[in-house]
Copies of this chain bind each other. A is one copy, B any other.
Amino acid sequence: MNQAAHTDEKWWGWGDPGKKDNLSRHPEFIKYLSEQIDFTGKVTLPPPDVASIKIPESRLTKKDIASLLSIVSDEKVHTSDRSRIINTYGKSYRDLLRIRKKNFDTVPDAVVFPDSEDIVQKILTWAVENNIAIVPRGGGTSVVGGVETMCGDKNRAVIVLNLRFLNKILHINTTSLVADVEAGIYGPDLEDALGRKGLTLGHFPESFEYSTLGGWIAARSAGQQSTLYGKIEEMVESLRVVTPGGIIQTINVPASADGPELKRMLIGSEGIYGIITRVRIKVKPIPEEKYYTAYLVPSFEEGTEICRRIIQSGMKPAAIRLSDEDETEFAFSLLITKMPSVKNMVLKTGRRWLERKGYLPGKRAFLLLGFEGTKTDVAHERKKLRSFVSKYKVLHLGKSAGNRWYKQRFANPYRRDALLDHGIMVDTLETATEWDSIKPLYDAVIKSITRAYDDLGIKGIAMGHLSHMYSTGSSLYFILLASPHPDKELEEWQIIKRAASMAIVEYGGVISHHHGVGLDHKQWLEPTIGSESIQLLRALKFQIDPENILNPEKLLP
């Protein structure tokens, strides 16, 4: 079997191994960390060397392998330790921590790289016949344990179905503005192909550069411009899903009244109902213009009210994001770089000016607004925005602040790797709720996390922002930074995560707005959607996959 490396991604962290976030470039950020948490600057948890990791023997028998190789050629079946290791986890804090701790108790017994739907179907049949679990994997960027290799039964083998070679663009229809695409395609490859025809999908989650179309759909992802373009579920015209019992192809129409919308049961099914192999996506012309700008508002609470009114007035930003006061300071601390520069000087002068205007630390919240579309539509929206903000106490920071955000929009995961080196706990979690529940939910989650830090006797920060807004409510996103006790990171994370999740559920939030359920949220699904709904999801699971070979232990509690 071909054991060659099939990827040059940073398997133990995020993205391009050539890119590194150098914390020491940001003296104010270092200062901020030193004040807020126990940051010493020492590297305490370096990335591991793959050769030093011990993993269990493969549970696949010679017979299993032989029958597998009768349906898929050997270069598509990887059984090397390296392949098994790098396909074990996703990109959650819990995952990255276990990688650095070399904790690889459950790993896939093989990794298979199908490059056609036909092979996917044959592998599913083989898996049912041989009682082998299958974990589908796109970019492997789940932050909720969605791609971790669980078997559903200790004595059972599990293989990862890595779909990155199921990545062909099959057809782009410029009349109906749809494209037929294989689901394993990565974000940049998809946008490149569409871009050559002047088109875009308009879906840019933070993971964009390293996640796949199928992954977005399986987890019900939201792009940073979802306020204009919608969540991924609204971008799917139809899809094909391979199940143990056959292929489900939903109908290729823009809308219908053909009974319950089964398409929506496959979207968000996180691999438990089948493998998404092919998607007809809705595409649109590349926007003629993108205009990103930013404001400061006096508080997160006032900003929330401004955001609600912007959205409910019918304004159509592509992106709208409001940081709380703490996230605003966090972001400000990253602005100044170590090297003296004109930019630094301008930034420092600007900051003093803000402070003279009363926008002091703790009394300012950063509001980002981005508009995309035709020149005439963007101009119209800008005009509406100007007229709107004239009625509120806000301070226009201008285009350069907006563009800075836009340029940095995929960079956060690199920073996380740098923080992890120093043993810092870095996690994000998110929910959505209606406008009148935003404040109580936000307060409850921040309080709950802070109390958990106190109970654990650790220093930590909890901050958040609104993004992905709707007429009836918004997504709420939280970022945690803390200094866990060495060797207690996992259990302390568990306690903090539990505290946050309980507050979300208690205050009527949904357990996820765009990360998904996976392993980390499944215990919260029943309190969120109710036991009757769980029973229905189970009934479908049993109908589709009675042997429970598909992504076992995920999503359903």
Contact = CB atoms under 8 A, between A and B. Distances in A.
Nearest to A219: B257
Contact of A473 (B176, B269, B436, B515): B176
Nearest to A243: B532
Interface in A433-487: 433-437, 468, 470-475
A92 interface: no
A430 to B, nearest CB: 9
Interface stretch (A55-63, A72-80, A132-140, A259-267): A259-267
A298 to B, nearest CB: 20
Contact of A177 (B220, B472, B555): B472
The residue among A221, A260, A432, A537 with the most chain B CB atoms within 10 A of its own CB is A260
A261 B231 CA distance: 13
A432 B282 contact: no
A536 interface: yes
A508 B249 CA distance: 13
B264 A268 contact: no
A398 interface: no
A390 interface: no
A85 interface: no
A233 B262 CA distance: 13
A336 interface: no
A268 B259 contact: yes
Contact of A377 (B237, B260, B314, B535): B314
A478 to B, nearest CB: 15
Nearest to A472: B254
B256 A220 contact: yes
B435 A251 contact: no
A471 B177 contact: yes
A277 to B, nearest CB: 14
A27 interface: no
A259 B270 contact: yes
B377 A432 contact: no
Contacts of A269: 259-260
Contacts of A173: 434, 436
B543 A539 contact: yes
Interface string A166-177: 000000010111
Contact of A253 (B231, B434, B542): B434
Nearest to A556: B259
Given A248-B532, A254-B432, A543-B539, A266 B273 contact: no
A380 interface: yes
A509 interface: yes
A178 B434 contact: yes
Interface residues of A, number: 95
A258 B525 contact: yes
B512 A472 contact: no
A437 B173 CA distance: 12
A530 interface: yes
A82 interface: no
A261 B233 contact: yes
Given A175-B435, A374-B314, A536 B529 contact: no
B256 A513 contact: yes
Contact of A259 (B247, B262, B473, B537): B537
A51 interface: no
A436 to B, nearest CB: 4
A536 B255 contact: no
A533 interface: yes
A549 interface: no
Contact of A282 (B436, B471, B540): B471
Nearest to A434: B176
A380 B269 CA distance: 41
Given A525-B258, A530-B249, A175 B436 contact: yes
Interface in A524-557: 525, 528-530, 532-533, 535-537, 539-540, 542-544, 555-556
A437 B251 CA distance: 13
A285 interface: yes
A265 B532 CA distance: 13
A84 interface: no
Contact of A260 (B253, B273, B308, B473): B273
Given A173-B436, A176-B472, A265-B264, A510 B256 contact: yes
Interface of A: 173, 175-178, 219-222, 231, 233, 237, 243, 245-270, 273, 282, 284-285, 308, 312-314, 373-374, 376-377, 380, 383-384, 431-437, 468, 470-475, 508-517, 521, 525, 528-530, 532-533, 535-537, 539-540, 542-544, 555-556
**Nearest 8 CB-CB pairings of A with B:** A539-B543, A254-B470, A264-B264, A220-B257, A176-B434, A254-B473, A256-B510, A261-B264
